[in-house]
Each structure stands twice: as C-alpha cells, then as structure tokens.
Amino acid sequence: MNIDGIPTRTLRAHPERRVIDIIDQTRLPHALHWVRVATLEEAAHAIRAMQVRGAPLIGATAAYGLAIALDFEASDRRLDEAVAVLGATRPTAVNLHWALARMEKHLRPLPAEARCAAAWIEAAAIAEEDVAQNAAIGQHGLKLWNDLIVADGQTLNIMTHCNAGWLATVDWGTALSPVYAAHDAGVPVHVWVSETRPRNQGLLTAWELEQHGVPHTLIADNAAGLLMRSGKVDAVIVGADRIAANGDVANKVGTYLKALACADNGIPFYVAAPRSTLDFACREGADIPIEERDGDEFRLVHGLDQHAQPSALRQLPAGEDVANPAFDVTPNWLVKAIITERGVCPASREGLLALYPEEAGD
C-alpha cells in the first residue's frame, strides 16, 4: 500500500544485518517513525507495547524476532527461551502462536549452526505468504461488494472497527483489503471508521485510508448504530485475532456490538482473516482467552499538546477501578460470512472445513 504515493510495507527485514525495521504504530497518526529491532527483548517489547499490532503482523514480527534471537546462539535452550518470551506477549492473537509453532517445527530438527540462516528464510516466507493471502482476501471480498451494488455509480458505504488494514499485516490488510481492491478497481467506496476506544486504532485506519486516497469518515464508536438505522451503511467488515473451529470470532472489543446492530438492521457483517487466524484446535469462542490490558490505557488519553508534542492527559484518577478487556467474541450466527485467502464460507465448522478439508482430523 502507499505512503505519500510510495509503496510501503509495515516491516522491513535486513537479514544481512540480523535486524528488522518496524513502524512504531504508537506514534501514529501524528508521526511516521521507524524503529529498529535488533534483540529478542526489543521484538517482545514491540509486540507487547503494540508498536506492532494486528494479528498477522504480530505473527510475522514474532517469526523475525525468533530469527533475531538465534543470531549469536541457536542451541535448544536458546530456541526454547525465545519461543517462551515471544509467546508470552499477547495471549489472544493466535497468529503469534501459529508463527512460533511453525518456526519451531522448521528449526528444531536442524543442527544449531544452521538454525539462524534457516530462521530468516522461514520468517521471510511467512511474511510473503501474508502479503499473498491478504491480496487474495481482497479479490474475494471485491466479489461480495459487486453483489451489493444495485445501481451504476453507487457509492458503497462500508463500516469497519479497529484497524485491520495494511498496518495490521505485512501488506494489504484483511478487512480493508477488499476496500482497497474496490478503490483500485474504480468502484466508488466510502468507509465509516469507528474510533475504537480506548487505544483508538480507528485513527490508524483513517491515516492509512488517507494515505491511499480512499474516502472515509471517522466516527465515535457509539454512532455506529445510528448510521446503520439511518440506512447509511451497506456492510460491515472486520478482521479477527482468532476464529474458533465453529466460526465464533474474537476481535477488538466493540466488534460484538456492531454485529448485533447489523443483525437488527439487516446489514451483512463480514469477517476477513487468513488461515493463520483460524484456530481449529479451539472448539468455540468461549474457549478463547481474552487479554486484559493495563488500566492506564483507559485512564489516560494520548495525543499532541498545544506545542505539537506527544502528551498524555489523565481523564480518571490513578486509583479509579477500570476494566479494560482488549477483545470480545462475536458468535457465529451473527456473521454473514468469513472471507479467507481460499474464498468465502459460512461462519461454521462445516463452512471452514469446506475451505480447509485438511483440518478435518483436528
């Protein structure tokens, strides 16, 4: 996708130097700042502090973090340590654990001296697969948009929640990939962007849509129902951090409320995610662990002060008791369809297995 007209990915790997560069997403939308990641600890911090976020990008960053960790030592002990450190950063996003399991399976049989080079190659493969899968999601989603168009020149009004664009992946995005595909194909499209408190990831969505030239409007989270009731929304599409085997979807908190509003207003609610987000070992949404974030994410509001410097404003006393769950679970019956790199399917075990029959034995 584009920044100032220049094709850009969220992650730049430098295997010859054993480092990667990432966009510090905590600095967006006010500043585009690249951060170098050169140690296991820096990779874990980038994931935990949400310098990188979005399930697919977390997975790719973890894969590269493991490669970085094996630079000077690639013993079994070091491999175990790196997997444990990275795996403890974010509990809900299954892509993290999927990527680490894939890396470990690939590296464990190799002699120690061969593991570092192999890790960089495998991490690059994970990143490139993410790009290809997200591009395919865009094309499958574009076909759904075409079904919604009832008149030539009609502007499609799509609503999304959180950020499931290219900032949440290596490139293209998941939920926004069909939006970009439509825009690039000349289909008039407008995006209602939910702010997504308390981390305000909707601001990231608005920033990247602006960079790519896609018309959009940022809204308060609680305005979504009114817009749907007023007939101003044709479809809602979100990404996912984990999809259970039965089609239940864990995504950023607030997703469930949008799905309920869609059901009440007869609006299709779609979920877009690659294979790495599907957890066939997780029977249903009730089995998905929900991450509880630090309460100061709710007590403090971040932005720029009057001198255009990053600043935090306290909106609640430090001792105020708050709950800050990062995700919620949308039951499968509220999901019109799941869009993956292999196609579109019902949000059910049978639907998912129709796309991924090799998982039937799990």
| Positions marked catalytic | 241
DSSP calls for 84-143:
HHHHTS-SS-HHHHHHHHHHHHHHTTS-HHHHHHHHHHHHHHHHHHHHHHHHHHHHHHHH
Q: Is 283 known to sit in a ligand binding site?
A: no
DSSP calls for 149-218:
--STTPPEEEEE-S--SGGGSSSS-STTHHHHHHHHTT--EEEEEE--TTTTTHHHHHHHHHHHT--EEE
Q: Is 199 known to sit in a ligand binding site?
A: no
Q: Is 201 known to sit in a ligand binding site?
A: yes
Q: Is 342 known to sit in a ligand binding site?
A: no
What count of other Cβ atoms lies within 10 Å of the Cβ of residue 306? Answer: 6
Residue found under tokens 């960790």: 69
**Which structure tokens are listed for 52?**
């990188």
Q: Is 55 known to sit in a ligand binding site?
A: yes
Quote the CA–CA distance of 179 and 234 in Å, as a whole number.
Answer: 13
Quote the CA–CA distance of 266 and 307 in Å, as a whole number.
Answer: 46
Which amino acid belongs to residue 296?
A: D
CB-based contacts of 293: which residues, under 8 Å, 6+ apart?
324, 325, 326
CB-based contacts of 296: which residues, under 8 Å, 6+ apart?
none
Quote the CA–CA distance of 164 and 172 in Å, as a whole number.
Answer: 9
Q: Is 49 known to sit in a ligand binding site?
A: no
Q: Is 229 known to sit in a ligand binding site?
A: no
Burial 326-353 (b: 16+ CB within 10 A, else e): bbbbbbbebbbbbbbbbebbebbbebbb
- Residue numbering of the annotated binding site for substrate: 53-55, 90, 201, 251-252
- Residue numbering of the annotated binding site: 53-55, 90, 201, 251-252
